[in-house]
Amino acid sequence: MIPLLFSCEHATCAVPEAWRDLFRGHEETVESPEGWEPGALNLAQGFAIKLRIPLAHGDVTRLLIDLDAAGEERWSRFSATLTDAQRTKLIERHETKHHDVLCARATELLRHVPAVVHLMVHTTPDDSGAVVLETSSPDTPAARWADTWAHLLRQNPEPLRVETRTATLPAPTASLRLFFGPAAYSALALRVSQSFFLEGRPWRWEKLKKHLADTLAATAKELTVSQESPSSPQY
């Protein structure tokens, strides 16, 4: 079994009917990269299909509630005006629901594998043409996945800017790590420049998506086999 958990928090710029007045006159902002991450859901769905792993994703614009944040940082300049009751309703309907899905899937995976790696798929509003893999520490299973995946991504005749780095990951990953423990849960954030999706540069989007999915599958095959080997360290 592949020990991966997939999520895409900023998948859409959708605004439920009940909240449309909040953004009236600001529709272009909602549809811009400020309201979602263009290409992220398309990429995450490609991974889910390739590896046959369920995908958990956000279902509203992050300008309504940001599933990658906690506390006051959840709220944008638009949703900051909501009442406590309205905020509680949004948290229950979107954030808690998303968190519960991730917890349930991680729990199921941990019945079969010693550790789960949570892959969060993002695109970034820049034209750097970079593919970035972020983990919270170099001493986690997620970091091992990032290093192996980055190595495979670089094995291509056409240059691709691939970076691995340690960073502070989104707040919700901290609660999952606390719930399952750092030995059983670690997170990996993939951040892909939106220039691939919006402008087809420096690579065409479909070409990049295929390369990312193929190399992720190869990473899963390599690390899953080594994890199952009696001589390999267990996490």
CATH of the domain at 187: 3.40.630.40
SS (H, E, C) the chain: CCCEEEEECCCCCCCCHHHHHHHCCCHHHHHCCCCCCCCHHHHHHHHHHHHCCCEEECCCCCCCCCCCCCHHHHCCCCHHHCCHHHHHHHHHHHHHHHHHHHHHHHHHHCCCCCCEEEEEEEEECCCCCEEEEEECCCCCHHHHHHHHHHHHHCCCCCCCEEEEEECCCCHHHHHHHHHHCCCCEEEEEEEEECHHHHHCCCCCHHHHHHHHHHHHHHHHHHHHHHHHCCCCCCC
Chain mean pLDDT for the chain = 94
For residue 96, the model assigns a pLDDT of: 96
pLDDT tens-place string over residues 13-70: 999 999 999 999 999 999 999 999 999 999 999 999 999 999 999 999 999 999 999 9
Domain membership flag for residue 60: yes
Predicted pLDDT at 104: 97
Residue 235 lies in a domain: no
Q: Does residue 216 form part of some domain?
A: yes
Is 65 among the domain residues? yes
pTM for the predicted model, two decimal places:
0.93
Q: What residue numbers bound the domain in which 68 lies?
A: 4-228
Predicted pLDDT of residue 156: 86
How many domains, the chain? Answer: 1
Q: pLDDT for 106-163, tens place per residue?
A: 999 999 999 999 999 999 999 899 999 999 999 999 999 999 999 999 998 899 999 9
